[in-house]
Amino acid sequence: MAARKKTSVSFADETIKIVEEFPSRNHGLENFSTKAEEIITDFSAMLSRTKKEILHLFSENELSYIYDMLNSSLILADQFPVKNLLAAQVEDADKYEGLGAKWEVSAPDLAKKISELTEFQAYTLAKMSDEFWAKNK
């Protein structure tokens, strides 16, 4: 078992309720810290696995288009369906910023690809853009 380090974090009441109601696999050890750790660990693993799926679905130019499109964008997954938002943004980015020509990508084809993703895959795609821009400031 990994070493433990005690830390303090603050959560909104809604987030506390989400953690408390999370269906934990750790029966009998369902305290807040255990559930929060399970959520974070599971989420991180799922994000990593889904990123590998995404890398096989999109070309390098398509990913560059998406990263370019999402530069300085704020995706709020708790407020909007990410898949729908990204697909619509692809069309707008081609129309207003010429990203299709810049990256030699068919915007309608890319929008269709995105619309065929699961919501979690679309969210992962947005997080991949965040990761790209965090590394390339």
pLDDT in tens, 9-20: 899 999 999 888
Number of domains in the chain: 1
Q: What is the C-alpha to C-alpha distance for residues 110 and 112, in angstroms, rounded to an integer? A: 5
Q: What is the largest CA-CA distance in the chain?
A: 57
Q: How confident is the prediction for the chain on average, in pLDDT? A: 91
Whether residue 105 is contained in a domain is answered as yes
Residue 137's Cβ-count burial label (10 Å; 0-12, 13-18, 19+) is exposed
Predicted confidence at residue 120, as pLDDT, reads 96
Q: What is the C-alpha to C-alpha distance for residues 106 and 98, in angstroms, rounded to an integer? A: 11
Predicted confidence at residue 24, as pLDDT, reads 81
Whether residue 72 is contained in a domain is answered as yes
pLDDT digit string (tens) for 101-110? 999 999 999 9
Whether residue 94 is contained in a domain is answered as yes
Whether residue 70 is contained in a domain is answered as yes
Q: Which domain holds residue 98?
A: 55-135
